[in-house]
Amino acid sequence: MSEKMKQVISVLKETYPDTEISLEFDNTYELLVATMLSAQSTDKMVNEVTPPLFEKYPSVKDLAAAQPDDVVPLIRSLGLYNTKSKSLVGMATKVMTEYDGKIPHTMKGLTSLPGVGRKTANVIMGNAFGIKDSGITVDTHVKRIAKRLGFTEQTTAKKVEQDLMKIVPQEEWVDITHLLISHGREVCKARKPRCNICPLSDICEEAFEFDHFNNT
């Protein structure tokens, strides 16, 4: 691990000691559904639609028996609701038919499910199964902050993940995602980062540029 990354992890853990995944769930099935719904939607919005969704479809078996058109009214407030409804039912159907009703515990198995990419699979592996060495979940916050801190020049989530995996210890792969997301929401915002209060401003590649811009 680079000294810079070591410092970032240390500072962010001190700044956000209680950070954790913000999606609300009670089991692996619920986390998988919530994570699939979170694409192009905020976790807050997802947490608002999942209670009635899980009330109607409390298990993967119940969801597999549904039609996409049945799911749409429950998630209509989210983006891409038609695509998501088809993916949810497709995922549940495949889990029932090919995995005996159990969410697969491997990256290969998870990414074989409709609507489940590497990002979603990493969330499940780390937060549901406690498997910390499958990869690093890269969302818009993680991608943005990794670039601003000078850890990557890549623009795709997959390549950013590869760069981060080279410098972040495996035991920190789950936590680094939560830490960077918390920092992105609270301080290192996309349009107007709050560099004046950022605990990482002294080691950030772009802090001076943004600080100068925000004060002119």
What gap in Å lies between CA 216 and CA 207, rounded to an integer? 14
Q: Is 74 exposed, middle or buried (0-12, 13-18, 19+ CB in 10 A)?
A: buried
CA 10 to chain centre: 21
Residue type, 95: V
Q: What are phi and psi of 61, to 5 degrees?
A: -65, -45
* Secondary structure element (H or E) that encloses residue 87, with its range: helix 81-98
Catalytically annotated residues: 119, 139
Measured CA distances, 40 to 26, 64, 78, 190 (Å): 23, 24, 8, 15
202: Cβ–Cβ under 8 A, 6 or more apart, which residues?
A: none
